Homo-oligomer: A and B are copies of this chain.
Amino acid sequence: MRATLMYGAGDVRVENVPDSTIKLPTDALLRITASCICGSDLHPYHSMSPENGPARVGHELIGIVEDTGSEVTTLKRGDLVVAPFAVSDNTCQFCRENLQTSCSHPQANFWDGIPDEGGQAEAIRVPLADGTLVKLPVAADSALIPSLLTLADVFGTGYHAAIKGGVRKGSTVTVVGDGAVGLLAVLSAKRLGAERIILMGRHQARTDLGIEFGATDVVADRGDEGIAKVRELTGGHGTDAVLEAVGHMSAYEQAIGVVRPGGVISRVGVPQYENAPIGFGSLFRHNIVLAGGPAPVRAYIEELMPDILDGTIEPGKVFDATTDLNGVPAGYQDMDARRSLKVLIQP
């Protein structure tokens, strides 16, 4: 079968690899019908050293069940399913608390931690299939597929940012970052009733989509100018919640600059730093809360899917390009150069 491999920074190739197959009785084997490139894939695309490669990549996917292990009870051949970016049993104490990204099962993992499988490929073996996969009540060629695919990561991640940011009816919110997750954090904040949603981003095609998703204001400036603009829009105090959907230190610093006393910085961009300011002068003085982490998207799928199925929301609008597997390396280049917001893959 064919699959995408990252050999190092800037070096993505599509090659033949051994076929994925059932290995454990709790596995399912999927033929992937829709996948995509994630903003978080760009982090290794910028920094991965060749000795860590070649590595299979891709962690967002929809597929058709081709085969199941003997202990899989909820799925059968032919089912169309969506796979969250984290494998979980959905029964342990953490899963029951809706923290599937901390599932305590020995096989629980992120796709990026499973070396011989990846979502940017023709097929994939899914461990803990009953816990991980969610059936989709549409056909593999449905027009809803792009929106349903966002349930695998970016929509659930944006929603997690808003939930952990405590966004509710009447909240004021700043979203840092106009990538797919940031835009879907806007959509999520709107869905939760936020009154004011300030989107910080500089790419007009993206911020226009942000406005369509519910942003009430766009701030294109960054750094001190961006902070001053947000404070100007909020009576000097900043917003109740800041949803940080980038992961770079500059985005965290931006978040500190625009959060209101007693407010929450909710991070879902994977931090590209370990140490950062949290002392008296940054978080402590005004009781700022720091929240967020890898989104337990599995927890949100049933909640978010109905609005997609009935057309209330269309998170799939974050896809502005489509390719087959051959086009994946170019897709990385396009996303890295910001020519594409998010690339859908039809293997």
B residues within 8 A CB of A338? none
Check if A288 is an interface residue, CB within 8 A of chain B.
yes
B residues within 8 A CB of A99? 261-262, 286-287
| Residues of chain A in range 51-110 having any CB-CB distance to chain B below 8 Å | 94, 97, 99, 101-102
The answer to whether A270 and B294 have CB atoms under 8 Å apart is no
The answer to whether B274 and A281 have CB atoms under 8 Å apart is yes
* A: interface residue count bin: 20 to 34
Check if A176 is an interface residue, CB within 8 A of chain B.
no
Which residue of the partner chain, among B262, B276, B285, contacts A279 with CB atoms under 8 Å?
Answer: B276
The answer to whether B273 and A283 have CB atoms under 8 Å apart is no
How many monomers of this protein are in the complex?
A: 2
The answer to whether B262 and A271 have CB atoms under 8 Å apart is no
Which residue of the partner chain, among B277, B284, B289, B291, contacts A270 with CB atoms under 8 Å?
Answer: B284
B residues within 8 A CB of A291? 287, 289-290
Shortest CB–CB separation between residue A193 and chain B, in angstroms? 18
| Residues of chain A in range 144-181 having any CB-CB distance to chain B below 8 Å | 164
Tell me whether A283 and B287 are in contact in the complex, defined as CB-CB below 8 angstroms, given that A261-B94, A277-B275 are known contacts: no
B residues within 8 A CB of A288? 293
The answer to whether B293 and A283 have CB atoms under 8 Å apart is yes
Shortest CB–CB separation between residue A250 and chain B, in angstroms? 15
Shortest CB–CB separation between residue A162 and chain B, in angstroms? 14
The answer to whether B292 and A271 have CB atoms under 8 Å apart is no
Instruction: Look across to chain B and name the residue whose beta carbon is closest to the beta carbon of A103.
Output: B261
Check if A139 is an interface residue, CB within 8 A of chain B.
no
The answer to whether A278 and B279 have CB atoms under 8 Å apart is no
Check if A49 is an interface residue, CB within 8 A of chain B.
no
Which secondary structure dominates chain A's binding surface? mixed
Check if A282 is an interface residue, CB within 8 A of chain B.
yes
B residues within 8 A CB of A101? 286-287
Which residue of the partner chain, among B276, B277, B281, B293, contacts A285 with CB atoms under 8 Å?
Answer: B293
Instruction: Look across to chain B and name the residue whose beta carbon is closest to the beta carbon of A160.
Output: B287
Check if A267 is an interface residue, CB within 8 A of chain B.
yes
The answer to whether B276 and A287 have CB atoms under 8 Å apart is no
Instruction: Look across to chain B and name the residue whose beta carbon is closest to the beta carbon of A262.
Output: B99
The answer to whether A275 and B284 have CB atoms under 8 Å apart is no
Tell me whether A292 and B284 are in contact in the complex, defined as CB-CB below 8 angstroms, given that A261-B94, A277-B274 are known contacts: yes
The answer to whether A262 and B294 have CB atoms under 8 Å apart is no
A contact residues vs B (CB 8 Å cutoff): 94, 97, 99, 101-102, 164, 261-262, 267, 270-271, 273-294, 296
Instruction: Give 13 pairs: A residue, B residue, CB < 8 Å, sorted on A.
Output: A99-B286, A99-B287, A101-B286, A101-B287, A164-B287, A164-B289, A270-B280, A271-B278, A275-B279, A276-B278, A278-B290, A287-B296, A290-B291
Task: Name the 6 nearest CB pairs between A and B, nearest first.
Answer: A287-B293, A274-B279, A102-B261, A290-B290, A271-B279, A99-B262
Given contacts A284-B294, A287-B296, 13 further A-B contacts (CB under 8 A): A94-B262, A102-B261, A102-B262, A164-B287, A164-B289, A273-B279, A274-B278, A274-B282, A275-B276, A275-B278, A276-B279, A278-B290, A285-B293
